Amino acid sequence: MIGVEEFLRLTEEFNLIPLYEEIIADTETPISLFQKLAMDGEYSYLLESVKEGRYSFIGISPEKVFKEYRKGLLIQEKGKSRYYPEKDLLNELKDYLKRHRVKDYEDLPPFSGGFVGFLAYEMVEKWAHIEQPEGESNENTEKPLGIFILSRLLIAYDHLHNTVKIINNIWIDDHLSREEKEELYHQGAAEIKELLDRIRGNGEAFSPEKDEGLAVEGEILTKISKEEFCSMVEKARDYIEAGEVSQLVLSQKFLLENNIPAFQLFRALRAINPSPYLYYLNFPESSLIGSSPEILVKVVKNKVIVRPLAGTRPRGETRERDLQLVQELKNDLKECIEHIMLVDLGYDELERVCRVGSVEVTELMEVEYYSRVMHLVSQIEGELEEGLDSLDVLKSVFPAGTVSGFPKKRALELIKELEEEARGPYAGAVGYLSFNGNLDTCITIRTFVIEDDRIVIQAGAGIVADSVPEKEYEETMNKASALFRAATLAGRGIGRPDIKAL
């Protein structure tokens, strides 16, 4: 950690300075660290990755909480809340970053402080001016469209070197005296030491045999039956045949009443379905527990990346069967047409925010494997246009075409008409916005949403002209199956259950 004199020197140039200390932590895991440092936090998070998995991030002690609603922005700070009907979330985050000059150290991870949270799918209705239907329930209108928290304290677990960095971001007001700045330094250093002492304490072990009183209560229910979902697919095909859209993504929702601790559910999902994006957002309004395979958008310095994932097959029971399914997937005209449409959409959306001539497809229709399914995936990259930032990029691509359809604006309108009920966090975004402008977000799929005592699971399928309704229904079930299995491990009460409609 830098000394107090170096800290004071930096305050002449920067008003946001990270203090950090690194220790060897070869006997720790992100799970044990979260249990020791963040389990009791009202707003805390754990972000992990198994693909680019050098770092896991744990956030505690939120400095501010930003909650977007349909009619304004609520900001919580130091135990007080204030509502701003004229403000919106993304512009507020932009303004906040512009006001802070951060000291960026090369030996810190790509995310060393900033905002972490989620955007609900319905956030796009404000941006795309999609009208809310008359009579939509208060439950849908009163839920946040997005929540992002600003944490002072961040724990970065380095899987490559088995080390932990405790990062404490210190904000410096312009009017502070030298003595007050020194006090901030010593207070920040003491907080780091206190966390290091807690790391040396004991964590709680997890095993499926522990907490025998925990069990899934009740049944998994859906808002619609299989027949109703298939009917919805037929209606979507009618719109496609009429030329209104080329592709439309429809989803169904599963509900489970339970008493499974949220973090136990995360650990089960993490074990069963490791994915490029693993996250546990422990927010009072709702906890999000996800294992998403798909980037929404990533911005590192000036490089912009989207990675559409569309086209699905279940995993085979043997290596030979896996290879057969790969060929079947690549030769499926319906899947290939759907995928290419979404690549075109991603390309067009990046061209709106990237330097002219810089956008290119760097991977096309590769196969990626997950625990229960395989997917076709492509990657599109570009260089960020001068004068724009990562939040402009996020707004350009949100929500992903892989969870909405093409053309996107009409697809959004038809989803609202056909699905009737708000999606909430499903098909939105989860991720971080760093103080240095880097952005990394995934699509909120393969995710448990826990609200009070209810778990919500949602999964979708892309509908095109020759879609077979029963096959699209099975695709949603295949995508949800890893979540059913995670609930089985965490609560020991369900497998792939008999699904019953409400």
Q: How high is the pLDDT of residue 380?
A: 98
29 and 61 share one domain: yes
Considering the chain, what percentage of its residues have pLDDT values greater than 90?
68
Q: How many helices and strands in the chain, by DSSP H and E?
A: 13, 23
Residue 162 has pLDDT above 50, yes or no: yes
The answer to whether position 356 is within a domain reads no
Lowest mean pLDDT among 158-162, 181-185, 289-293, 484-488: 484-488
Give tens-digit pLDDT for 265-279: 999 999 888 888 999
Beta bridge partners of residue 57, listed in sequence order = 47, 156
- Asked whether residue 40 falls in the same domain as residue 138, the answer is yes
* Opening angle at CA 177, ends 174 and 178, nearest 5: 115
pLDDT at 104: 83
Asked, for residue 352, whether it belongs to a domain, the answer is no
DSSP per-residue codes, 296-340: EEEEETTEEEE--EEEEEEPPSSHHHHHHHHHHHHT-HHHHHHHH
Average pLDDT over residues 88-100: 91
Place of tokens 């319906």: 334
Same domain, 260 and 126: no
- Whether the per-residue pLDDT at 145 is higher than 80: the answer is yes
For residue 85, tell me if it sits in a domain: yes
Q: Is the pLDDT of residue 383 over 70?
A: yes
- Tell which of 143, 169, 199 closes a domain: 199
Residue 103 tokens, joined? 């000291």
The pLDDT, as a whole number, for residue 183 is 97
Comparing CA positions, the residue from 309, 285, 248 lying closest to residue 424 is 285
Structure pTM?
A: 0.89
92: buried, middle or exposed (CB in 10 Å: 19+, 13-18, 0-12)?
middle
Output the pLDDT for position 136. 52
**Residue 63 clears pLDDT 80, i.e. is over it:** yes
H/E stretch holding 84: strand 80-84
Mean pLDDT calculated for residue range 350-356: 97
Strand partners, 119: 146, 429
User: Would you call 124 exposed, middle or buried from its count of C-beta atoms within 10 A (0-12, 13-18, 19+)?
Assistant: buried
DSSP code, position 384: B
Helix residue ranges per DSSP H, 137-251: 138-142, 178-199, 226-241
**H or E segment to which residue 158 belongs:** strand 146-158
Mean pLDDT to the nearest integer, 305-333: 93
Phi-psi region of 346 (alpha: psi -120 to 50; beta: other; left: phi over 0): alpha
Evaluate whether residue 332 is within a structural domain. Answer: no
Residue 205 pLDDT exceeds 80: no
- Range list of H helices, 365-407: 390-397
Q: Which of 327, 290, 289, 330 is nearest to 310 (CA)?
A: 330
Kindly state the average pLDDT of the residues 27-51: 88
Do residues 95 and 242 share a domain? no
**Per-residue pLDDT averaged across 394-413, rounded?**
95
Looking at residue 221, what is its pLDDT?
81
Residues 238 and 183 in one domain: no
Of all residues in the chain, what percent are helix, strand and coil, respectively (each to 5)? Answer: 30, 35, 35
| Range with the poorest average pLDDT among 55-69, 151-165, 215-229 | 215-229
Active site residues: 375, 402, 426, 446, 462
Whether pLDDT at 499 is above 80: no
Same-domain check for residues 120 and 185: yes
Whether residue 300 is contained in a domain is answered as no
User: Which range marks the domain in which residue 126 is found?
Assistant: 4-199
Q: What is the pLDDT of residues 423-463, one digit of tens each?
A: 999 999 999 999 888 999 999 999 999 987 789 999 999 99
What pLDDT is stored for residue 492 in this prediction?
61
CA distance 233 to 491: 33
Is it the case that residue 52 has pLDDT exceeding 80? no
303-306 vs 295-300, strand pairing mode: antiparallel
pLDDT for 338: 86
Please compute the mean of the pLDDT values over residues 240-252 and round it to a whole number.
96
Does 170 have pLDDT greater than 70? Answer: yes
Cα separation, 263 vs 452, whole angstroms: 14
Assigned token pair, 259: 């008493």
Q: Of the given ranges (195-199, 295-299, 390-394), which has the lowest mean pLDDT? A: 195-199
- Average pLDDT of span 341-359: 96
User: Does the pLDDT of residue 259 top 80, yes or no?
Assistant: no
Same domain, 179 and 223: no
Do residues 52 and 160 both lie within one domain?
yes
Nearest CA-CA partner of 292 in 430, 156, 402: 430
Stretch 404-421: mean pLDDT: 94
Are 189 and 230 found together in one domain? no
Per-residue pLDDT, 214: 40
Cα dihedral sign, 185-188-190-196: negative
Give residue 231's pLDDT: 97
CATH assignment at residue 59: 3.60.120.10
Domain final residue pick, 199, 230, 264: 199
Count of structural domains within the chain:
2
Instruction: Give a yes or no: residue 415 inside a domain.
Output: no
- Residue 420 resides in a domain: no
151 and 112 within one domain: yes
CA–CA dist 276, 288 (Å, integer) = 16
Which residue among 171, 199, 227 closes a domain? 199
pLDDT value at residue 500: 55
Of 311, 385, 381, 306, nearest to 353 (Cα)?
A: 385
pLDDT at 493: 43
The residues that bridge with 48 in the sheet, in sequence order, are: 278
In a domain, 331, yes or no: no
Same-domain check for residues 24 and 171: yes
Q: Give the model's pLDDT for residue 210.
A: 42
> Is 405's pLDDT higher than 70?
yes
Same domain, 231 and 181: no
Q: Label residue 209 exposed, middle or buried (CB < 10 Å: 0-12, 13-18, 19+).
A: exposed
Band (212; pLDDT cuts 50, 70, 90): very low
434 in Cβ contact with 111 (< 8 Å): yes
Q: How far is CA 155 from CA 30, 239, 490, in A?
A: 9, 49, 26
